[in-house]
Chains A and B, each alone.
Chain A
Amino acid sequence: MDPPPPRSRGVNEALAQPLPATAVPREAESFEALYERTFPRVYAYVASLLRDRAGAEDVTAQAFERAYRKRRGYRASRGTVEAWLFGIARNAALDELRRRKRRATLETEPEDLGAPSLDDHAETALRREVVRAALARLDGHERDLVALKFQGGLSNTEIAEALGLSESNVATKLHRTVTKLREACREAA
């Protein structure tokens, strides 16, 4: 199995270190590099929001295509390229969710994205179920925050840029959500 993609750095580290030159999608090659670096995380984030593999694939492809078309509109002064890309992905995912709500065809539980694999240990599988049960008790905004942080791998600064909030606000919300999640896990366990 390939090594996991590098996570976005923590708040302090992200502020201390300059943005790599390849992070700016000015040319097709740079965009490819950005794609290589972020694709698994973008997909994971979108899939966590939609909880539907086919929909996640469509929306991920759509998000990258939108980002490609808009790449000249990216301004480094407004935030990191990851925040910009996840903002696009988030908008695409939310649009998809709204479409689904309008159609009201997805009333049933969506496909289980992370069905336990055969090689999962029983303890791991159990813990996963507990976490999922806890996640299910969060509201949409909290799930979005968790997905951006843990599936998207964004730093608090980047989440703040993607959501249009202040960094301290994101930190507070994240802490509250994690606390709620932990309590929900305790109850579920």
Chain B
Amino acid sequence: MKQPNRRGAQPERRSGEHRRLDTDTDLAVLEAALREGRVTAADPAERELQELALALEADTPEPRPAFAEQLSKRVEAGFPRTGRAARARGGARRRLAGLRRPRRLLPALAVAATLLIALAVAVPLLSRDQTTGGSSVSAPSTGESADDAAPLQRESRSGMSQTPSPVPPTGTGTGQDFDPKRGQRSIERSASLSLEAPGAELDRLAEGVARVADRQRGFVLRSSVSSGEESGGGSLDLRVPADRLRDTLRDLSALGKVRSRSESGQDVTATVVTASDRLESARAERASLLRRLRRAGSDSQAETLRQRLDANAIEIRRLRSDLRSLRLRTDYAGITVSLSDESRSGDTLGGPTDSTQDALDDAVGSLQASLNFLLRALGTLLPLGLVLAATVAGGRALVRGRRESALA
């Protein structure tokens, strides 16, 4: 691609394409001369260029043989360090060894970091499961194992009903200012169970629940069951002796598919003791009033004492009623059984679909948690990384600029 008149043309009038062609052609001519070691072009301008290139190459300084030999020996020996320099280098190398070691331990560090991240993700998930698990205990639909996971077992070991209860205690008698050594504790227990069965079997299921209550020496306090294609379901409130709660729950769980189950307990010992003490005081007051009435000297005095005895009788009746109610609550555990049509609910605890769904939910949750963690980590690391990268790039540019200044 020879251009006869290109050298004589005005450079500023040439297009960018022509300039690029000139550059490429000139450099190709130049490379050819350097490669061949002689002038190869016929065009006078190109010959001039090649001669210049060869002249520049010929003007290459050559090293002194003594220096070349000396450096060759050093290269062969691997640039040995001597004297103070070697000692100084040795110290620096030892100091640097500490910095290099982490590089070797990089895989181990990576594994440790992964474990840490996994822990950071798993611990909140597990703690969340434990928090929600108390109020809704996953249990297989049938069998003894359903009872094995019952929180009441933990409750009986701990001796305090509040411990396993996920529900905050309500009522007045929380027992916070109560001496636990003072007699047997009174604990109000309750449980709720959600059972599923096919719509056609809901009635039979409700009967089964009643039979279980009866067998466990309990009773059905309230029941409401409806069946039909549109809305099948119901609920039953049971009262069973507190010491038979576990057996009752076990039997109830065997009746159908357990969708959810929860148990709770509340220590009402302080309330019971307070009511007992007040009843005892009221009775003592009544005895005292009766004694004073027998010794009354006037009618008006007797009338006053009678009025006070009436008020005292009312108070005693009220306290007896409270105590009776409290004993009923502590001697009997309340169980709320919800019945539902399984064809209307998508999933059931314990079933294969449920466990797959749970596993999927858990997987999605874990993924979300991991992503959240990564996002947070990125939110912190990204700006730091950018600042670091900018600093390194700036530092390099500075050093480069300072070096290049030597050529200015």
Residues of chain A at the chain B interface (Cβ within 8 Å): 4, 7, 9-11, 28, 31-32, 35, 39-40, 43-44, 47-48, 53, 56-57, 60-61, 64-65, 68-69, 91, 94-95, 97-98, 101, 113-114, 124, 127-128, 131-132, 135, 139-141, 143-144, 146, 150-151, 153, 156, 164, 171-172, 174-175, 178-179, 181-182, 185
Sort A-B residue pairs by CB-CB distance and give the 6 closest, nearest first.
A140-B407, A97-B406, A47-B61, A150-B56, A175-B23, A94-B403
CB-CB under 8 A for A150 and B60, given A156-B27, A178-B26: yes
By a CB distance below 8 angstroms, the chain A residues around B217 are none
User: Beta-carbon contacts of B40-69 to A below 8 Å, as 1s and 0s?
Assistant: 000000001100110111111111100110
Q: B403 near A69 (CB under 8 angstroms)?
A: no
Complex Cα spacing A32 to B77, Å: 10
Q: A68 near B79 (CB under 8 angstroms)?
A: yes
Q: Which residue of B lies closest to A48 (CB)?
A: B61
B376 is an interface residue with CB less than 8 A from chain A: no
By a CB distance below 8 angstroms, the chain A residues around B76 are 32
By a CB distance below 8 angstroms, the chain B residues around A44 are 60-63
By a CB distance below 8 angstroms, the chain B residues around A178 are 26, 30, 49, 52-53
Complex Cα spacing A140 to B406, Å: 8
Q: Which residue of A lies closest to B34 (CB)?
A: A7
Q: Which residue of B lies closest to A47 (CB)?
A: B61
CB-CB under 8 A for A97 and B407, given A31-B75, A175-B26: yes
Q: A53 near B402 (CB under 8 angstroms)?
A: no
Q: B64 near A53 (CB under 8 angstroms)?
A: yes
Q: B404 near A94 (CB under 8 angstroms)?
A: yes
Complex Cα spacing A113 to B52, Å: 19
Which one of A53, A132, A150, A179 contacts B53 once the chains associate, using CB atoms below 8 Å? A150
Complex Cα spacing A128 to B51, Å: 11
Complex Cα spacing A7 to B37, Å: 10
Complex Cα spacing A68 to B75, Å: 8
Q: A131 near B52 (CB under 8 angstroms)?
A: yes
B82 is an interface residue with CB less than 8 A from chain A: no
By a CB distance below 8 angstroms, the chain B residues around A60 are 63, 71
By a CB distance below 8 angstroms, the chain A residues around B407 are 94, 97, 139-141, 143-144
Q: B34 near A185 (CB under 8 angstroms)?
A: no
B304 is an interface residue with CB less than 8 A from chain A: no
Main secondary structure of the interface of A (DSSP, over half): helix
Q: B71 near A64 (CB under 8 angstroms)?
A: yes
Residues of B in contact, count (CB < 8 Å): 41
By a CB distance below 8 angstroms, the chain B residues around A61 are 71, 74
Complex Cα spacing A32 to B382, Å: 43
Q: B59 near A68 (CB under 8 angstroms)?
A: no
B35 is an interface residue with CB less than 8 A from chain A: yes
Which one of B26, B35, B63 contacts A40 once the chains associate, using CB atoms below 8 Å? B63
Which one of A11, A39, A101, A114 contacts B61 once the chains associate, using CB atoms below 8 Å? A114
Q: Which residue of B lies closest to A65 (CB)?
A: B79
Q: Which residue of B lies closest to A35 (CB)?
A: B75
CB-CB under 8 A for A114 and B67, given A94-B403, A175-B27: no
By a CB distance below 8 angstroms, the chain A residues around B64 are 53, 57
B4 is an interface residue with CB less than 8 A from chain A: no
By a CB distance below 8 angstroms, the chain A residues around B30 are 178
Rounded to whole Å, the gap between the CB of A162 and the closest CB of chain B is 12
Q: B78 near A28 (CB under 8 angstroms)?
A: yes
Contacts A7-B35, A39-B68 aside, 19 further interface pairs with beta carbons under 8 A come to A10-B31, A10-B34, A10-B35, A39-B72, A44-B63, A61-B71, A91-B403, A94-B406, A98-B403, A98-B406, A101-B406, A139-B407, A141-B404, A141-B408, A150-B53, A151-B56, A175-B26, A181-B52, A185-B52
24 sampled A-B residue pairs with Cβ under 8 A = A32-B75, A32-B76, A35-B72, A40-B62, A56-B61, A64-B74, A68-B75, A68-B78, A91-B403, A98-B403, A113-B61, A135-B56, A139-B408, A140-B407, A140-B408, A141-B407, A144-B407, A150-B60, A151-B56, A151-B61, A153-B34, A179-B26, A181-B52, A182-B49
CB-CB under 8 A for A174 and B27, given A98-B405, A139-B407, A141-B407: yes
Which one of B57, B79, B400, B402 contacts A69 once the chains associate, using CB atoms below 8 Å? B79
Q: A182 near B52 (CB under 8 angstroms)?
A: yes
